[in-house]
Amino acid sequence: MKRKTALLVAAVMAGLLTAWAVGRGIGTRGNEGGVEPAPAMTRLAPYHPGMSLREAFDTLPAGADRTALTLLLDNTDAWTARWRLLESARQSLDISYFIVREDLFGAAFLGHLLKKAKEGVRTRLLFDAQGTAMSFVSPRGNDWLDTLANTRNVKIKLFRPLLNRYVQALLTLNPVALVASEHDKILVMDDHVGMIGGRNISAEYFADPADMPKAFEDADLILQGKTAARRLIAAFEAQYRRDDAQAIERERLDLESYAEELLLAYRAMDAWLKGVPLDAHSQERIKTLGLSWRKDLAKFPRLRGALKEPAPEPEAQAETRLLDSHTRLQPREEIIGEALARLSQSARRQILIQSPYLVLSKQAVDTLAAVGRRGVQITILTNSPVSSDNALSQAFFLEQWPELLARVPGLRIFVTGRFRTVHTKLAVFDDQVTLIGTYNLDPISMEINSEIMAAVWSGPFARDAARHPRALLKRGPPMVYEYRIQRDASGQAVRDADGKPIIVFGPRDHADPEEWRKIQVYWATLRAAEKVAGFVPLF
């Protein structure tokens, strides 16, 4: 009951915040009280209209000239890459995630960290309190964190504990305080190899779709090089050292340790990935303790022996900039959104965007419209009602997409028609610049949460990153559908008596409404709210 109430409150507040942000087109000016200004290495240089794409890229924060980059699209590769990074650690691990779920993958990941800490690896962990509360839904899950906190060489913090959020929202009358979160996904090993991307730690991010049909589709990036690693550590510490990141203190008396449970999850996963039998003692202890680790592993046969495959080689050695937007409770400069705007304004031919959610402010729409009027082709691939993992954001998208097509020349919107959620956050400009990381095209990412993105200057890498979404687009229905509106002979949108664009092909043409009733409830509520005096519409 408590979990359902918490999720309901979060959904309602997210809806109110989304409507507020989109309707008003929140700016990115000013500075949040109590937060130090960003250091010079995270600031943008001046930009002016007419800059080339290269000149726009040069306004981004300082980066690393030669960074070895490995793009991870396959879920199994993404999991084994993390496993290898943890196994290779000899000195330090700095890790932040929004969600670590209470499942086999979460237990094995935490068990691996526990093992490394016992070997002497200094480990700093930062988990978002909202994401953790959504995934650790029983006392057992939180006891896992306590076990780590009680372990030598481990320091673990929760970002913005839930009680603190509610109190702050009440005292300041600022609803943003309820949802502002740490959304970064950062893993840095021994100060010289790092990883970012869209994946959290749970089964749906790492399962082969043949084993779990609804497994997410996502992307991660490994960055090898001391300069890039230092930039990632700086981004990690910007959130880790904040006053609202609260340490989980060591218990003076550890009444119940879950160390054995976590280490058994690690051993079972490690043996499975290596394709070798689990030792007899561990098998017996798993059985005695009534743990499900071996039964859970059997659900993922395509993970077995995955570590026998060679690790993916870097695709490129390229100039890389890191864009870091901190959590904020008040509007202020938002570095990733500004970088997106600059690169879009300087693109000359085409922009390809893949995002789980598509809910834009008027300011963002105006920027894209100006880009489209210059003849730049803009293609966006996102989720549909049958694939989205977020009913609320999908409701806003269903209300907004026809108007986006009407207002932005050259824009094409494609949605996935299968049940797998597209969770990749990717943008490619003129097949030369790639942005990849955690940033969604919605107001929560744009205006509230912390986010991390890598900007890469490399034609070969950009074309490689764009290859998968372009392959999806070519497959067409029923894999991917294009949403379309009616246009007149001059290409202008045709509107109905209420001024809304007339839909030629949309969600009702490929998705059974019975399959997305929850989205329809949000959608109907949104449309009804627009008729209430004082409600700010999407535009």
Q: Write out pLDDT tens, residues 156-205.
A: 999 999 999 999 999 988 888 999 999 999 999 999 999 999 999 999 99
Could you report the per-residue pLDDT of 329-381, keeping only the tens digit for each? 877 768 999 999 999 999 999 999 999 999 998 999 999 999 999 999 999 99
Identical fold at 2-29+52-59+331-529 and 67-308?
A: yes
133 pLDDT band (50/70/90 cuts)?
Answer: confident
Residues above pLDDT 70, as percent of the chain: 88
Bridge partners of residue 222, in order along the sequence: 70, 195
153 pLDDT band (50/70/90 cuts)?
Answer: very high
Residue 113 in this model has a pLDDT that exceeds 80: yes
pLDDT higher at 138 or 124? 124
Phi-psi region at 341: left, alpha or beta (left = phi > 0; alpha = psi -120 to 50): alpha
Residue 5 in this model has a pLDDT that exceeds 60: no
Instruction: Compute the chain's Rg from CA coordinates.
Output: 23
Residue linked to tokens 């119940």: 256
Q: Specify the pTM.
A: 0.90
Residue 538 in this model has a pLDDT that exceeds 80: no
Residues above pLDDT 90, as percent of the chain: 74
140 pLDDT band (50/70/90 cuts)?
Answer: confident
Residue 533 in this model has a pLDDT that exceeds 60: no
**Residue burial 337-364, b: 16+ Cβ < 10 Å; e: rest:** bbbbbbbbbbbeebbbbbbbbbbbbebb
Could you report the per-residue pLDDT of 470-523, keeping only the tens digit for each? 999 999 999 999 999 999 999 999 999 999 999 999 999 998 877 777 787 777
CATH architecture for residues 2-29+52-59+331-529: 2-Layer Sandwich (3.30)
Nearest to 257 by CA among 281, 279, 282, 289: 289
Could you report the per-residue pLDDT of 417-459, keeping only the tens digit for each? 988 999 999 999 999 999 999 999 998 999 899 999 999 999 9
Could you report the per-residue pLDDT of 23-65, keeping only the tens digit for each? 444 333 333 333 333 444 468 999 999 999 999 999 999 887 7
Could you report the per-residue pLDDT of 249-268, keeping only the tens digit for each? 887 555 568 999 999 999 99
Residue 281 in this model has a pLDDT that exceeds 80: yes
The helix or strand, by DSSP H or E, that contains position 382, with its residue range, turns out to be strand 377-382
HSE (CB half, 13 Å, CA atoms) of 155?
Answer: 11
Average pLDDT, the chain: 89
| DSSP β-ladder status, 411-416 and 377-382 | parallel
Decide which of 3.30.870.10, 3.30.465.10, 2.40.50.140, 3.40.50.1820 is the CATH code for 67-308. 3.30.870.10
What residue ranges do the domains of the chain occupy?
2-29+52-59+331-529, 67-308
